[in-house]
């Protein structure tokens, strides 16, 4: 494992993938989802993370929320130890203690969801993350949330194609990413999240201005997760 890679920020790893001619794909590890059920299917998360890295993923995402998605901080620590890639923690975070736990587990970045917290709390956690040398993905789902998010000193803007308030059981499409990207000013690094499953959808998001895409379920549902990542990162 390269210590040099470990020191890259999450956003820098996305940029490096693009410079290397790969689609900047954030490959996600989650145990289950309310819509799809069991996603790990008995696989070792450490081996899965290593396979995703070998296949060309730019970064990894780990869902640590326990009740609906079966995650944990131990899952995050396991993945961080198994890869040299920067790792995003996805959870319903709401306190400074959550930020500290994310940093202590070795993540490089954490998710802040605009629809699930009041604005002062989001701003405070964004600042605390920066104080602890973590980047943030501030996630939005509509234009109102986008307008507010753009007032921050964003590391990465996340555009969720599904509604997290419904636990992402709705049938979102990459169209939401494409629509909101049209309102994102130049210089803002945005990623498309959820409901992305094909190389064509990845390319559509990148062509519209996204700096990366987060793909979870379709990779985990594939017979070979590594092969699924390779298909998505290939721009040839």
Give the tens place of pLDDT for each residue, 49-93: 999 999 999 999 999 999 999 999 999 999 999 999 999 999 999
Tokens of 122: 């989001």
Confidence of residue 172 (pLDDT cuts 50, 70, 90): low
Question: Stretch 108-126: mean pLDDT, rounded?
Answer: 96
Return d(Cα 132, Cα 100) in angstroms, integer: 8
pLDDT bracket for residue 5 (50, 70, 90): very low
Confidence of residue 8 (pLDDT cuts 50, 70, 90): confident
Q: Which residue has the higher pLDDT, 1 or 23?
A: 23
Polymer length of the chain: 236
Contact between 138 and 152 (Cβ < 8 Å): yes
Confidence at 170, pLDDT banded by 50, 70, 90:
very low
Burial of 52 (0-12, 13-18, 19+ CB in 10 A): buried
Tell me the average pLDDT across 206-229: 95
pLDDT of residue 175: 87
**pLDDT for the residue numbered 6:** 52
For residues 79 and 23, give the distance between their C-alpha atoms in angstroms, rounded to a whole number.
22
Q: Give the separation between CA 16 and CA 101, rounded to whole angstroms.
A: 27
Asked whether the whole model's pTM tops 0.85, one would answer yes
- Report the pLDDT value the prediction gives residue 194, as an integer from 0 to 100: 82
Kindly state the average pLDDT of the residues 124-151.
Answer: 96
pLDDT at site 162:
79
Q: Among all chains, which residue has been given the structure tokens 């409901």? A: 195
């Amino acid at each position: 494992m390269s210590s040099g890679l470990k020191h890259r920020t999450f956003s820098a790893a996305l940029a490096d993938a693009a410079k290397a001619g790969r689609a900047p794909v954030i490959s996600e590890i989650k145990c289950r989802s309310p819509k799809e059920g069991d996603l790990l299917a008995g696989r070792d998360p450490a081996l899965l993370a290593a396979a995703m890295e070998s296949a060309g993923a730019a970064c990894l995402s780990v869902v640590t929320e326990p009740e609906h998605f079966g995650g944990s901080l131990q899952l995050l620590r396991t993945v961080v130890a198994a890869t040299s890639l920067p790792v995003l923690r996805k959870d319903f975070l709401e306190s400074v203690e959550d930020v500290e736990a994310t940093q202590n587990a070795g993540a490089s970045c954490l998710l802040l969801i605009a629809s699930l917290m009041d604005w002062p709390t989001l701003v405070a956690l964004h600042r605390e993350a920066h104080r602890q040398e973590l980047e943030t993905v501030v996630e939005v789902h509509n234009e109102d949330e986008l307008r507010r998010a753009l007032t921050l000193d964003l590391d990465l803007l996340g555009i969720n194609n599904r509604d997290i308030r419904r636990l992402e059981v709705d049938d979102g499409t990459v169209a939401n990413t494409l629509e909101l990207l049209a309102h994102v000013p130049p210089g803002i690094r945005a990623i498309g999240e959820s409901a992305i499953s094909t190389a064509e959808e990845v390319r559509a998001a990148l062509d519209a201005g996204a700096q990366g895409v987060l793909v979870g379920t379709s990779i985990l549902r594939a017979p070979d997760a590594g092969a699924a990542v390779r298909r998505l990162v290939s721009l040839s």
